[in-house]
Amino acid sequence: MEVGITGGIGAGKSTVCKIFSTLGIPIYDADSRAKQLMEDSSGLVEQIKEVFGKQSYHRSGKLNKAYLADLVFPVPDKLQKLNQLVHPEVAKDYSSWVTSHGNKFPYVIKEAALLIESGSYQQFDCLVTVLAPVELRITRVLARDPNRERGQIESIISRQLSDQERIEKSDSVLYNDEKQLLIPQILDLHQHLVGQ
């Protein structure tokens, strides 16, 4: 069984996935894999350089994240173009990853911010959304990434789906709002998924 975990920036997807990982469930972190593929996949590297310029990479071959973020996040068309380049590579990588895990686990998880927006949520047996209030999400992102500015985070949030839109597409919702205990919610969901 394939489970998708999604949510807006700073909602706590990674925290939720760390807890599932301690339960022995394999996690595919789409954002991390995308960044890795953007450096390791020669075809993708060439496409990004062609579309966004050679400045997209440092001389060392590492992705110039700050340059690319400043270039694409303020311009929806450019962000969409970058996603159109990266998402097919991630989809192929994820498919290989699922195959490599075979039937050794009751389910596997793919963590990604844009599962609903990309339409790929439909491939999952269960879609889980992680929710948190916007102000808390902004505080979390600022704490984990001091290079980001509040305005940039607000801009990202404004372009992401609303909580209501996510809930409508989801099979389950986890509230990571620091008011409800997160671990019991995850354990209940895990029991439900294992029982299916």
Q: Is the pLDDT of residue 66 over 90?
A: no
Q: Coil, helix or strand for 139?
A: helix
Q: Tens digits of per-residue pLDDT, 86-135?
A: 989 999 999 999 999 978 899 999 999 889 988 889 999 999 999 999 99
For the chain, the average pLDDT equals 93
> Do residues 3 and 107 make contact, with C-beta atoms less than 8 angstroms apart?
yes
194 HSE (CA, 13 A, CB side): 12
Residue 26 CA, distance from chain mean position? 15
pTM here?
A: 0.88
Domain at 1-26+108-196, CATH from 2.60.120.920, 3.10.620.30, 3.40.50.300, 3.20.20.70? 3.40.50.300
Proportion of the chain above pLDDT 90, given as a percent: 80
Ranges for all domains in the chain classified under CATH 3.40.50.300: 1-26+108-196
Q: How far apart are CA 135 and CA 25, in angstroms?
A: 30
- Average pLDDT rounded to a whole number, residues 41-64: 94
- Predicted confidence at residue 129, as pLDDT, reads 97
